[in-house]
Amino acid sequence: MLRGMPAGAVCENGHNFDRARQGYLNLLPVQHKASRAPGDNIAMVQARRSFLSVGHYRPVADFLSRHAVTGNPQNWLDIGCGEGYYTEILSGRLGPANGYALDISKDAILQACKRSKNINWLVASMARVPLATGSMDLLTSVFSPLDWHEAKRLLSGQGVLLHLGPAQDHLIELRQMVYAEVRPYDDAKHLASLPEGLEVVQTEFLRFRIGLEQDADRQNLLVMTPHGQRVRTECHDRVVEGLKNVTVSVRLDRVRHTGEQ
């Protein structure tokens, strides 16, 4: 695990990691990469940054932040932080707490570094988080895959994990335009992998609709989601020309060690 230094960090085995000039630490060894550039590509990152910066998902960020401040965490980590939109807002709400954020996509972290200098940005795998066991009072995971066992390892005794993901009708209008058949979505399927020793203590939902008045908003929404990676040309054009409103629907699960108060 890492110990911080002004110009970088050192692990318990004495390996040094230099901090890039943009401010992040690259802690993803070549042997742990499934491809040369894992994670979201630059097109997805830029589309997400543009879309989120307009404020369409600000209610989601506020919803998450309201839950995050409970318990006054001193050390926190945003897992799968992407280009840092939610992380930056969390940092503002959590004040002087020591914040970390990681993503496997270097393109995403490069954009995230532009949002705040008060966060420890890490290029790293969520399956091998370079932080000490039991060191995090708060973990957040927003629209991101999660390694539950690694999350369990990181949580302090009274630590909390906030897992935020899509609910059943999230982006339903977009999905109806992209797919010939929209399959029912189980918004609790992630809990099938919940390891022994962790429990869900609270679940809340948030649902609202947003208007997409600009072509750029519709284009960015499509490109930033996994749906945009599979869409045919005719479906792409139909979305960009015709998706005027879309439903945002999310589920937030509050998870902690079993038996903790």
pLDDT tens digit sequence for 163-213: 999 999 999 999 999 888 898 889 999 999 999 999 999 999 999 999 999
In a domain? residue 30: no
Tell me the pTM: 0.89
Flag whether 23 is marked binding.
Answer: no
pLDDT number for residue 32:
41
CATH of the domain at 225: 3.40.50.150
Please report, for residues 52, 69, 81, 223, 261, the alpha-carbon distance to residue 56 in angstroms, rounded to integers and kept in the order given: 6, 22, 18, 15, 35
Q: What is the pLDDT of residues 223-259, one digit of tens each?
A: 998 887 767 777 888 888 999 999 999 999 999 999 7
Listing DSSP states for 154-207 in one string gives HEEEEEEEEEEEE-TTTTHHHHHHH-SS-----TTGGGGGPPTTEEEEEEEEEE
Would you say residue 226 lies in a domain? yes
* Overall domain count for the chain: 1
Asked whether residue 69 is assigned to any structural domain, the reply reads: yes
Q: Is the dihedral of CA 140, 144, 149, 154 positive or negative?
A: negative
Q: Is residue 163 annotated as involved in ligand binding?
A: no
Match 């609790």 to its residue by tokens: 188
- Is 27 part of a structural domain of the chain? no
Report the pLDDT value the prediction gives residue 33, as an integer from 0 to 100.
43
62-86: per-residue pLDDT in tens?
999 999 998 889 999 999 999 999 9
| Closest alpha carbon to 139 in 122, 126, 125, 123 | 126
The answer to whether 84 is annotated as binding is yes
Identify the domain containing residue 174 by its residue range.
Answer: 38-257
**184 within a domain of the structure (yes/no):** yes
Q: Predicted confidence band at 122 (pLDDT cuts at 50, 70, 90)?
A: very high
Residue 2 has pLDDT above 80, yes or no: no
Q: Residue 165: inside a domain, yes or no? A: yes
Is 16 inside a domain boundary? no
pLDDT digits (tens, 9 = 90+) for 16-60: 455 766 777 887 654 444 445 456 889 999 999 999 999 999 999
Does 11 carry a binding-site annotation?
A: yes
Domain presence at residue 32? no
